[in-house]
Amino acid sequence: MKSEATEAQVDEVLKVIRDLGFKPHPMPGATRTAIGITGNQGAIDPAHFEMLPGVAEAIRVSKPYKLVSRDLKPEDTIVRVRENEIGGLEPAIIAGPCAVESYEQTMAIAEVVASCGVKLFRGGAFKPRTSPYSFQGLGEEGLKILADARERFGLSIVTEVLDTETADLVEEYADIMQVGARNMQNFSLLRRVGQAHKPVMLKRGMSATLDELLLAAEYIMAEGNYNVVLCERGVRTFADHTRNTLDLSIVPAVQTRSHLPIIVDPSHGTGKRNKVIPLARAAIAAGADGIMVEVHNHPEQALSDGPQALLPEMFRQLVTEVAAIHRVIAEAETSLV
Amino acid sequence: MKSEATEAQVDEVLKVIRDLGFKPHPMPGATRTAIGITGNQGAIDPAHFEMLPGVAEAIRVSKPYKLVSRDLKPEDTIVRVRENEIGGLEPAIIAGPCAVESYEQTMAIAEVVASCGVKLFRGGAFKPRTSPYSFQGLGEEGLKILADARERFGLSIVTEVLDTETADLVEEYADIMQVGARNMQNFSLLRRVGQAHKPVMLKRGMSATLDELLLAAEYIMAEGNYNVVLCERGVRTFADHTRNTLDLSIVPAVQTRSHLPIIVDPSHGTGKRNKVIPLARAAIAAGADGIMVEVHNHPEQALSDGPQALLPEMFRQLVTEVAAIHRVIAEAETSLV
Amino acid sequence: MKSEATEAQVDEVLKVIRDLGFKPHPMPGATRTAIGITGNQGAIDPAHFEMLPGVAEAIRVSKPYKLVSRDLKPEDTIVRVRENEIGGLEPAIIAGPCAVESYEQTMAIAEVVASCGVKLFRGGAFKPRTSPYSFQGLGEEGLKILADARERFGLSIVTEVLDTETADLVEEYADIMQVGARNMQNFSLLRRVGQAHKPVMLKRGMSATLDELLLAAEYIMAEGNYNVVLCERGVRTFADHTRNTLDLSIVPAVQTRSHLPIIVDPSHGTGKRNKVIPLARAAIAAGADGIMVEVHNHPEQALSDGPQALLPEMFRQLVTEVAAIHRVIAEAETSLV
Amino acid sequence: MKSEATEAQVDEVLKVIRDLGFKPHPMPGATRTAIGITGNQGAIDPAHFEMLPGVAEAIRVSKPYKLVSRDLKPEDTIVRVRENEIGGLEPAIIAGPCAVESYEQTMAIAEVVASCGVKLFRGGAFKPRTSPYSFQGLGEEGLKILADARERFGLSIVTEVLDTETADLVEEYADIMQVGARNMQNFSLLRRVGQAHKPVMLKRGMSATLDELLLAAEYIMAEGNYNVVLCERGVRTFADHTRNTLDLSIVPAVQTRSHLPIIVDPSHGTGKRNKVIPLARAAIAAGADGIMVEVHNHPEQALSDGPQALLPEMFRQLVTEVAAIHRVIAEAETSLV
């Protein structure tokens, strides 16, 4: 739509699309609204739409992913979670324990996170575990603890949704619903979070190509939820000095093809604390829209993934460095304009 | 249990395990019954059980996977599907179209398969597709067509279960419920098929290690379903001459560690017809308990994965070769005894 | 050239090519001779050659590899080593110790190999070792021991050439010069063995694509040595149940694109003895032109790679199985004609 | 050695080691000298050395790599090239064309590089090419052009040595001899550059593990050349949005285990210009001791690897950003002390 298009004009276009039997996907940006069309079999003549009042142009998106594509919506998507933004001017930092283990542990870590000025708090209540005999999370009790941390410290909550059965519960408590790497192609779950009224953070699968990641996001957006944040967390390779190989080159690659924000999780990517800080800094320098890291007050006692959690003082330091590195990049970009 | 143990003795051991608050898993073999124990926190003293009548020995399984392990049950598991066996003396052949596309197509292919003496028929009614806009399968209608093929040609049906929502439906129609590679770590789905009364074929994930595959099977068995068939279908690598790299070395590796049967799907592994036959033969030569291949009467018209489907006459030839190669291996093993 | 072309006609074509400033590569087959042309910048008009007497047709090879390509020479290349063939009707078996360790060890193993009717003997005198402090082979002394084994047991010798410095020495003693995986893109060495008067066995690099393997062979052939045998020995992947992942799908892929024979080394591919036999059988079933395996009389004492060497009785069994599986395939192919 | 050890004391220890039949490797650091010992079969009693005057302690290095190890030499190694340092306080930037193509091209790019204050100039005179028919570099003529650029712009020259045959030539002209990824395990070449009187930059192989990279450096150091710079340039994975997957996690991993400097080459790692700048910044943020990038004045005319070369103005911008990001890291580290 043109930047001066009225709301009535947008509504009229949506109606025309619906009347043709297709599904319209309006995505407002800072200056203008993009409207995606799905549900069509084969190509539609752009002339159908270009004559409608307020329409700037009609573009045929030739990629397998449509709504995700920057061809459709050239402007960056900013995902808003309460007063916070992911994909906006400042890099987003999401921090917290791997798993919610107890009320005390969660509040202690939430206090650290909040005291560093960080607003997005992560913690798993439902944990995907390779073994059926490992700790599977506190479930709803864990969600309630997270809600208490939100209340007490003014944090927004990022927590994983494992399956469609518990999706209602997670949607009720979470501010951002996280879809884990193992579920990146769990299409029923993608459709379910596509119907949710909360933003979704979608982690790249352990051996997912860029196209597969974008098509997984497309599943979510095709259901009408356009608030999707992508997350790189490392891929499987032969390399054995880290648990996974963090693939930072996907950051500029996503930004070229898609308008969606992308953040990086170096905690799972590297699996070891002494590599988390260098790679978190590197993610920001590569242009990521944010990072997600694990922080633990007593990592040696953590029920899952202790060795990769940052100690509070390391995290505080990292927050400062992230801001400083981001400032370098932002200034560089400004000077180029 | 000792091979001469009575049913009453087995029942008594099961009762003792339950009374201790644990979960017993009786798995009968050709000569004796193995009983796995799960649900314990920490080690249990073997002496608890070794004094019970009929007990041969109590073994502590130190691996992360218990019920899957050959330590617990040294005898090969034979999965029985109506009159057919997977893991028995003869290699199992599972064949059919990638997706059920129509009544006519399905019956035509089923006729070919049955006419070659093959008893296990595959075909997807629910299809996992990378793109939300691709053909997703005929759903229940597809299952009904498969049931008709079973009726008409005396075939057993292998078909994929995509999610917990449609699991009841698939369980009703299928003879073997297939869990696809993308769902290998969909733990809710694993638990659901673990409660099913049908055998499960579990495909290896695209970047799953051997341990992860065995632990995924453990999820199913921990729920009480011990009829699990593993399936290698190729992994993600840098190699670009095939869609995936078929990893036949996992066949002897699984057989060393687990009593479960393992079959190989060279159709998805290679993605190209002219590689399917050589690799299907190779799978049998490597000692696999069977193969699963795609057959199509008009591959050029197939709605999904046409280029990898065998033509009827190629399939007929393959069935003969599989039998001949298996005979070589079987004779070799006999001559070694 | 036409199948009835005379030697004089072939010579005349070679002369014409040379006179144009290009390099001719005559490769005789069973029924007719193919002549490759390299050294040209840009395309040459086929009409230059098609009018010459004895010329059947002139084909422009559009692939980056020319001499290797089946487009140029549709007939399979058979590499002849004394009275033995690789790429002919029977599968080639190459066996012996990883490294030549002593006169006694080598003779003992050579005796086993010869007693099984196997004619191609492998053994390393120069060993590529990851660590500078590991045993690097016996050097020329090792080559002399191999020559003694040839003399005594009527074997042909396959041994690795590590660098251009020792290439003269290896060329003097070896019947087939092996280029190892780490040297697949050591272009100086490829050029050197391209000038040798002995056949070359070229192993696939640990992360080489099919194109890279074929182009490495092209380096050898471009120097005038057309007796090249390719060898798959496993690639690097995330999988941890074997040292490398043996990629048998490259066998039919090579056979489609190239006329060169391809064999498989399952010893290095799997790294463990109990996987060598299943995968050696699988290689033959996949259509490989042969296998190369390590045999050791005392694997527990081997100075390198002991755990993957077959015991003599295992090897004897394998030789029988290889012949039987090959017979199945050969009959199948005959029946298709 | 103790920090107050005299040169005579160091010499005495070297003599004792030689008299025992071993090879001593003295490596001076900023405050004290470490002396490695190789050539021993099995362990040596540390008491042999600890009683000698000036010896601080004798440590048994249990890793397969000895001289490379931080256990032996806890202080960072600084490689000095004329007035420049790699591994010192400032990040090193190495820039220039992929290949030396002509006098004019080289001078034009050298002028850009020098005008940005960058002192290390790269350019290949001998090029490793996958195809025998691709441009293989200008050879000695290229080296002479590089020497002219050094003379004219006060640059130090980094250029690749492809084989032992041309090593004398490269050693004569280069300031740093680069060993490429394909040659990382070309052990003869490693030994040859280990005898050179010029520093060596060793690139990680396309599927090399961290241990293999360190052991390749050990080959060089075992010959007496301790001026080794490691270089990450991307590894082979399934990911298809970049040519290789740049593995920045190896930077902190190397720094934990080894005292050698490590730099990053994002040009070859990503293969595309728009990813080079983000990943070059990321490398510095991850703590790398420097970067190596390709710069070209007319990338569209480059004879090799044009699409990954930076334009002059992009490079100028990058130099500024690298300095700024490095300052952030350096300040952070200071504030932690």
Average pLDDT, chain D: 93
Q: How far is A246 from chain C (nearest CA, A)?
A: 14
Q: Beta strand C33-38 with C23-28: parallel, antiparallel or unpaired?
A: antiparallel
* CA dist., res. A292 & res. A323, Å (int): 14
Q: Residue D201, class by beta-carbon neighbours within 10 Å (0-12 exposed, 13-18 middle, 19+ buried)?
A: buried
- D269-314: pLDDT as tens digits: 676 778 899 999 999 999 999 999 999 888 777 777 677 889 999 9
Residue D336: pLDDT band with limits 50, 70, 90: low
Q: Beta strand C176-179 with C200-203: parallel, antiparallel or unpaired?
A: parallel
A contacts of D325 (beta carbons < 8 Å): 285, 325, 328
What does pTM read for this prediction? 0.94
Q: How far is B214 from chain C (nearest CA, A)?
A: 12
Phi, psi of B232 (to 5 degrees): -85, 135
Which parts of chain B fold into alpha helices (H)?
7-19, 47-50, 103-115, 140-153, 167-173, 187-194, 210-222, 250-257, 266-270, 273-285, 312-336
Average pLDDT, chain A: 93
Residues 6+ apart with CB under 8 A from C70: C256, C257, C258, C259
A contacts of D317 (beta carbons < 8 Å): 332, 335-336
Task: Pick A248's closest partner by Cβ from D274, D282, D331.
Answer: D282
Q: Is the pLDDT of residue B336 over 70?
A: no
Cβ of residue B238 closer than 8 Å to a chain D Cβ:
yes
Chains in contact with chain D (at least 3 beta-carbon pairs closer than 8 A)? A, B, C
DSSP helix/strand/coil, B84: strand
- D12-30: pLDDT as tens digits: 999 999 998 999 999 988 8
Q: Which residues of A129-138 are buried (b: 16+ CB within 10 A; e: fewer)?
A: bbbbbeebbb
The full DSSP string for A241-298 is SSSSB--TTHHHHHHHHBSS-EEE-HHHHH-SHHHHHHHHHHHHHTT-SEEEEEB-SS
Q: Is-contact D258 D66, C-beta < 8 A?
A: no
Residue C336: pLDDT band with limits 50, 70, 90: low
Among chain B residues, the shortest Cα distance to A221 is held by B132
Cβ of residue C188 closer than 8 Å to a chain D Cβ:
yes
Report the candidate in A234, C238, A307, B239 with the shortest Cα–Cα distance to residue D247: A234
Mean pLDDT on D245-259:
96
Q: How many CA atoms lie within 13 A of A220 on its CB side?
A: 31
| Across A93-102, A181-190, A239-248, B294-303, least confident range | B294-303
Terminal alpha carbon distance of chain A: 26
- Work out the number of other CB atoms within 10 angstroms of the CB of residue C296: 26
Cβ of residue C241 closer than 8 Å to a chain A Cβ:
no
ipTM above 0.85, yes or no: yes
C contacts of B209 (beta carbons < 8 Å): 238-241
Q: Do A236 and C238 touch (CB under 8 A)?
A: yes
Q: Which residue has the higher pLDDT, C83 or D102?
A: D102
- C312-322: pLDDT as tens digits: 999 999 999 99
For tokens 């869609």, the residue is: B243
Mean pLDDT on A25-52:
87
Q: State which amino acid sits at residue A15.
A: K
Cβ of residue D130 closer than 8 Å to a chain B Cβ:
no
Q: Which residues of A254-289 are buried (b: 16+ CB within 10 A; e: fewer)?
A: bbebbbbbbbbbbbbbbbbbebbbbbbbbbbbbbbb
> Which tokens in the block code for residue D170?
């490269």
Which parts of A174-209 fold into alpha helices (H)?
187-194
Q: How far is C208 from chain D (nearest CA, A)?
A: 9
* CA dist., res. A179 & res. D271, Å (int): 31
Average pLDDT, chain B: 93
SS3 sequence of C280-308: HHHHHHCCCCEEEEEECCCHHHCCCCHHH
- D33-68: pLDDT as tens digits: 999 999 887 778 888 898 899 999 898 887 889 999
Q: How far is CA D282 from CA A179, A248, A253, C303, D275, in A?
A: 26, 8, 15, 44, 11
DSSP character at residue D290: E
Query: Angle, to 10 degrees, between the axis of helix A210-222 and the axis of helix A187-194?
Result: 50
